[in-house]
A and B are shown apart, each in its own frame.
Chain A
Amino acid sequence: MSTAAEAGRARTRPTSRAYWLRRSPVGRFIKRLAFWVLIAAIFIYALFPFYWAVRSAFTPPSELFNTPIQYFPTHPTLANFRDALNTDFFRRALLNSTIVAGSVTLISLLIGSLAAYALGRFRFRGRSAVLYLMLSMTIFPQIAILGALYTMISNFHLYNTLGALILTYLIFTLPFTVWVLTTFMRGLPGDLEEAAYVDGATPIQVFYKVLLPLIAPGLVTTGLLAFIAAWNEYLYAVSFIQTPQNYTVPLAITSFVGKSGQAFQVPWGSIMAATVIVTLPLIAATLVLQRRILAGLTAGAVKG
């Protein structure tokens, strides 16, 4: 059956190219050349700024502020990385951001998977209303509640603490986690669950013994996306955090100043080293989980 279809398709495959381009070797060459030029252009466009940060991070400051510009560090050095890591608030920021993003991710996954279990595997009145609420929360403009949060946080004496960020970041990570995990929960077949119920399992046992292991890939992907969102957040961080020892990574990146004696000069070498340090783990995680992230994006786009 399928082979017949394949054969049929092979026979009628005059692909969609203009006639002369397909027939003449010159035309074909030009077409292939144009295609690869485009591919190369996209490749360079996507990667060049990151390459530039890497090359600036490895270039000694003396060469960094010299013209003509070197496109490749002729005397690569680790001095910028040392400077960045020796900056107190930057080291603290790495720790702070890990604490904040880690806690937010864990809380979101914990609360979110329970909610997703209810929304994905139960039928009850009000279910779609809750789903709509969660979906509308994912596009909620965070700026719209800044003033209220600002006064709430100062009333709770959370101003200038990491707790303020952990609390407020849930606004964007939790609804998103609920929404994505619900689609994962819904996609599971019902048989295993029924078998477990027949064996006398309680709904809670079904949840953490049957369903949770099955959506583990979903938990990893969603967790990573929530972590990245919290790691990158800037608006609330810049509004609720004041002292350098509580800075998160985005605050630290924007706070590097020149050493005494050259205060007028922005220490671009250290800044670029810092950007490379904070970005590499994210890029690595993204590339490792690439297929899963793409699958998640695909599911969203198709369902939308």
Chain B
Amino acid sequence: MSSVATPAPVSGRRRRRTKLQRRQSRLAWLLLLPALAVVAFVAIYPLGKTVYQSFTNQEFLAGITPTKWVGLENYRTLWHDTLFRNSVIETVKFTLITVSFEFVLGLVIALVVNSSFKGRGLMRAVMLVPWAIPTVVAAKMWQWMLDDVFGVVNDIGVRTGILSHPHAWISDPATALASVCAVDIWKTTPFVALLLLAGLQVIPRDLYEAADVDGAGPVQQFFRITLPLLRPAILVVLIFRTLDALRVFDVFYVFFGQRPDTQTMAIYNQSTIVGDGHVGYGAAISVAIFLIISLFVVIYVTFVRVTDE
């Protein structure tokens, strides 16, 4: 901004200020140095290395096959890899289901908790509990709740007559995905609700009062006031939840291990690298995942741009 060259008379005062600025800027970079060094070492360098590895046939046990450059070989294999294709489909399905449920349920909860009532503070505290529980722990809790013989979900289902007989939720391929989604939705919906609640609370009350005076009903107020003004919060929530869901690993790994019909992209990638030791091919999968996630970011950003115009 200030770099536009204006042939201003160089006064003594101005020169002193630039000197101070230069000293400030040097100090700032010095303060940033440790953080930038760490980020470069643990994130940027490995990212570059991953891209390089994806063009090689590197194996973890390097003694067996010497590592050499194979060009696009890995990517060609990946294109025809049905296991990978299935893992992408599984992950996208999981993402669509969980993000939409979390958003709708979270919005309902946020609207309910937003009205003032006794115990609202307690309610907000309660909503932080699922968020604070580690994902692996939450997965274990639900695995036990969904147990086919001694699980409470089957017990409640049978007692209330919703289920005619106990069901093996996790091992039955028809309900496997639904049961992982249930864990994620339980753990994350309250968090989504809290973020949306924060967005709701900055909407000025006057708007609703004015709408009341004009005779707008609650439904109309929701669609004309609440939803448009909540848009920034909604977009943030959707973007972060989508990116999070696309890299899902923990719940699937705890529930299914490496069962091939229920692998996510992250699990397939991890088992290729760590389980099989195919570092080169695994790197190609990593790059593909990175591109798929970037694609979602681009879609969101374009959507925001288009609707803003």
Residues in chain A within 8 A of chain B (CB atoms): 9, 12-18, 35, 38-39, 42-43, 45-47, 49-50, 52-53, 56, 64-69, 111-112, 114-115, 117-119, 122-127, 130, 133-134, 137, 139-152, 154, 167-168, 170-171, 174-175, 178, 203, 228, 231-232, 234-235, 238-239, 249-250, 253-254, 268, 271-272, 275, 278-279, 282-283, 285-287, 290, 293-294, 297-298, 300-302, 304
Contacts and interface: CB of A to CB of B under 8 A. Distances in A.
Given A56-B144, A282-B134, A14 B212 contact: yes
Nearest to A278: B137
Interface string B173-216: 00000000000001000100011001101100110110111001
Given A150-B279, A238-B253, A141 B293 contact: yes
Contacts of B119: 39
Given A124-B21, A228-B132, A302-B202, 14 more contacts: A47-B126, A50-B130, A64-B150, A114-B31, A115-B32, A124-B25, A125-B25, A147-B283, A152-B49, A232-B135, A249-B134, A275-B140, A298-B201, A301-B195
Closest 10 CB pairs of A and B: A124-B25, A304-B236, A148-B46, A115-B35, A118-B31, A250-B136, A232-B134, A145-B46, A148-B49, A298-B198
B126 A111 contact: no
B253 A203 contact: no
Contacts, number: 286
A147 B286 contact: yes
A228 B283 CA distance: 29
Contact of A130 (B36, B50, B217): B36
Q: Report whether over half of chain A's contact residues are helix, strand or loop; otherwise say mixed.
A: helix
Nearest to A203: B27
B138 A49 contact: yes
Interface in B212-235: 212-213, 216-218, 221, 232-233, 235
A235 B250 contact: yes
A141 B32 CA distance: 23
B38 interface: yes
8 contacts: A16-B208, A16-B212, A16-B218, A43-B126, A67-B150, A124-B21, A141-B243, A302-B233
A273 to B, nearest CB: 11
Given A16-B218, A39-B123, A297 B195 contact: yes
Contact of A43 (B123, B199, B216): B123
A301 B218 contact: no
B102 interface: no
B117 A35 contact: yes
Given A39-B123, A49-B142, A178-B35, A122 B43 contact: no
Interface residues of B, number: 102
A253 B46 contact: no
Interface in B102-158: 109, 112-113, 115, 117, 119, 123-138, 140-142, 144-145, 147, 149-150, 152, 155
